[in-house]
């Protein structure tokens, strides 16, 4: 099995786990709606944490799906912004990296609103 194929299998498994987790978060949220007002107030704090976990889980699913699409398209390891190589060292450290280090820095600065 090639390294990329191995990564692909690993990502598919992760995706499965993340979707199961998401399903569980959403079920918990659905149950909270059935409870009475007092209980709901107590759950409010929890549900904010759940919203965070849900957002993080969704972001992870999104990222893994993007990486899988790039593997399938034969574009894995190519920077999404400049089309140059992401770099072997960088991919070893973070197999989900979509950008080369230069583009990543520019992107992060943009995300931070600078
Ligand atoms: Zn780049």
pLDDT in tens, the chain (114 residues): 788 899 999 999 999 999 999 999 898 877 766 667 777 676 667 778 888 899 999 999 999 999 999 999 999 999 999 999 999 999 999 999 999 999 999 999 999 987
The rounded Å distance from CA 63 to ligand 1 centre is 17
Domain extent at residue 20: 1-76
110 CA to centre of ligand 1 in angstroms: 14
Looking at the fold, whether 24 and 48 belong to one and the same domain comes out as: yes
Identify whether the C-beta of residue 77 lies closer than 8 Å to the C-beta of residue 91: yes
CA of 38 to the centre of ligand 1 (A): 52
Q: Which two tokens stand for residue 42?
A: 């107590």
- What is the Cβ-side half-sphere exposure of residue 76, based on CA atoms within 13 angstroms? 22
In the chain, the number of structural domains is: 2
The sign of the CA dihedral 46, 48, 49, 54 is: positive
Ion ligand 1 — residues with CB < 5 Å: 79, 81-82, 100, 103
Same structural domain, 83 and 105: yes
Count CA within 13 A, CB hemisphere, residue 110. 6
* 114 and 97 co-located in one domain: yes
**pTM of structure:** 0.77
């Amino acid at each position: 099995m090639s390294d990329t194929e191995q990564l692909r299998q690993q990502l598919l498994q992760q995706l499965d786990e993340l979707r199961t987790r998401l399903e569980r978060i959403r079920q918990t949220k659905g149950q909270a709606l059935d409870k009475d007002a007092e209980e709901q107030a107590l759950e409010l704090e929890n549900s904010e944490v759940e919203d965070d976990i849900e957002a993080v889980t969704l972001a992870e699913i999104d990222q893994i799906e993007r990486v899988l699409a790039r593997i399938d398209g034969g574009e894995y390891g190519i920077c999404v912004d400049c089309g140059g190589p992401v770099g072997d060292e960088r991919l070893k450290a973070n197999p989900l990296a979509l950008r080369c280090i230069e583009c990543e820095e520019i992107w992060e600065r943009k995300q931070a609103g600078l």
